[in-house]
């Protein structure tokens, strides 16, 4: 993920959530002069004039006394199609966006839709999250074996960039077997090997309400970033509907990283 020429796409609609994300990005790339910032604006109403003057103000404010190149990508039309096209055409390495919690009557947030559909890692920043800090990452996994080690490599690069430790958190509902089994031991070996010095420990989160259990654990253990591997990292299983990922995107007060290829 932390490539030499890192390209970060920030969906920016001038909302408070978008401003929070841009402030997070400012700190995120502080020691990364090679990082390029792409601000993306998708306007569903094709008849309204794009706010070009406001866009220039955002670039000027972000780029003051900084070496990171900043540019805009403007589209009119569908949100998912627009950002997917930008990601593919510009070779985006990371999509980083702000989000509000799910409002009553709202089926999904833009962040949860993008996290489940675009083909790159998605970094979700809750509007009310604390200022940037990245010292402790909690990696959520299920009970399946980890086969796609490229995903762990992306997480290792991120942890190294900020000298962060990674705690692996296996999540299980009450229908799963409790305890530490052979597959958990095999996964432990993979984490110790592929996460190297960043690997901290392996814990288990179990219960009927996994979302609540995850949020309780991350708060009590001062986790700064929740990372989750989608189901397509494992072999011989059907890709999940992403219900847990969607729930975390819409309700977490801690930044969330959805790592996908």
CATH number, domain with residue 190: 3.40.50.620
- Segment 94-121 shows an average pLDDT of 78
Domain count across the chain: 2
User: Residue 44 has which token pair?
Assistant: 């569903």
- Segment 41-47 shows an average pLDDT of 78
Residue 2 located in a structural domain: no
Residue 131 located in a structural domain: no
Contacts for 50 with CB less than 8 Å, ≥ 6 apart? 41, 43, 74
Residues 87 and 150 in one domain: no
* Domain-ending residue, one of 98, 126, 154: 126
Residues 140 and 253 in one domain: yes
Half-sphere exposure for 60 (CA within 13 Å, toward CB): 6
pLDDT for 87 equals: 95
- Segment 133-154 shows an average pLDDT of 83
3-state helix, strand, coil in the chain (%, to 5): 40, 25, 40
Residue 101 located in a structural domain: yes
pLDDT for 84 equals: 94
Beta-strand ranges (E) seen in the chain are: 7-11, 36-43, 70-76, 94-99, 122-126, 136-141, 165-172, 199-206, 225-228, 256-258
Q: How confident is the model at residue 239 (pLDDT cuts 50, 70, 90)?
A: very low
pLDDT for 193 equals: 86
- Segment 199-226 shows an average pLDDT of 91
For residues 151 and 81, which has the higher predicted lDDT (pLDDT)?
A: 81
Q: Give the range among 71-80, 120-129, 179-188, 191-200 with minimum mean pLDDT.
A: 179-188
Residues 204 and 248 in one domain: yes
* Domain-ending residue, one of 88, 103, 126: 126
pLDDT for 64 equals: 59
- The model carries a pTM of 0.87
pLDDT for 194 equals: 85
For residues 150 and 64, which has the higher predicted lDDT (pLDDT)?
A: 150
Residues 107 and 176 in one domain: no
The range of the structural domain enclosing residue 33 comes to 7-126
Residues 162 and 249 in one domain: yes
Listed residue (108, 52, 41) closest to 77, CA to CA: 41
Residues 155 and 243 in one domain: yes
Q: How confident is the model at residue 3 (pLDDT cuts 50, 70, 90)?
A: low
* Domain-ending residue, one of 70, 94, 126: 126
Question: Is residue 190's pLDDT more than 80?
Answer: yes
Residues 223 and 154 in one domain: yes
Residues 142 and 243 in one domain: yes
Question: Is residue 4's pLDDT more than 80?
Answer: no
At 218, which helix (H) or strand (E)? helix 210-220
Residues 186 and 113 in one domain: no
Residue 243 located in a structural domain: yes
Listed residue (132, 131, 192, 189) closest to 156, CA to CA: 192
Residues 183 and 226 in one domain: yes
User: Residue 249 has which token pair?
Assistant: 């995107």
- Segment 63-76 shows an average pLDDT of 79
């Amino acid at each position: 993920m932390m490539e030499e020429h890192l390209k970060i796409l920030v969906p920016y609609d001038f909302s408070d959530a978008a401003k929070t994300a841009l402030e997070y990005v400012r700190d995120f790339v502080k020691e990364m002069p090679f990082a390029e910032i792409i601000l993306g604006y998708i306007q569903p109403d094709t008849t309204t004039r794009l706010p070009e003057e406001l866009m220039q103000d955002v670039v000027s404010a972000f780029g003051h006394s900084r070496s990171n190149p900043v540019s805009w990508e403007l589209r009119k039309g569908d949100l998912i199609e627009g950002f997917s096209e930008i990601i593919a055409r510009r070779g985006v390495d990371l999509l980083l966006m702000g989000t509000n919690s799910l409002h009553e009557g709202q089926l999904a947030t833009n962040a949860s839709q993008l996290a489940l559909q675009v083909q790159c890692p998605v970094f979700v920043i809750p509007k009310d999250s604390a200022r940037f800090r990245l010292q402790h990452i909690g990696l959520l996994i299920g009970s399946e074996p980890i086969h796609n080690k490229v995903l762990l490599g992306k997480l290792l690069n991120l942890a190294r960039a900020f000298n962060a430790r990674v705690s692996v958190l296996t999540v299980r509902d009450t229908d799963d077997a409790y305890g530490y089994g052979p597959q958990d031991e095999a996964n432990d070996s993979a984490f110790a090997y592929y996460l190297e010095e960043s690997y901290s420990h392996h814990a288990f989160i179990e219960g009927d309400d996994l979302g609540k259990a995850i949020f309780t654990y991350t708060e009590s253990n001062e986790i700064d970033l929740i990372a989750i591997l989608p189901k397509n990292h494992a072999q011989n299983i059907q890709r999940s509907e992403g219900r847990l990922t969607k729930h975390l995107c819409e309700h977490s007060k801690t930044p969330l990283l959805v790592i996908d290829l």
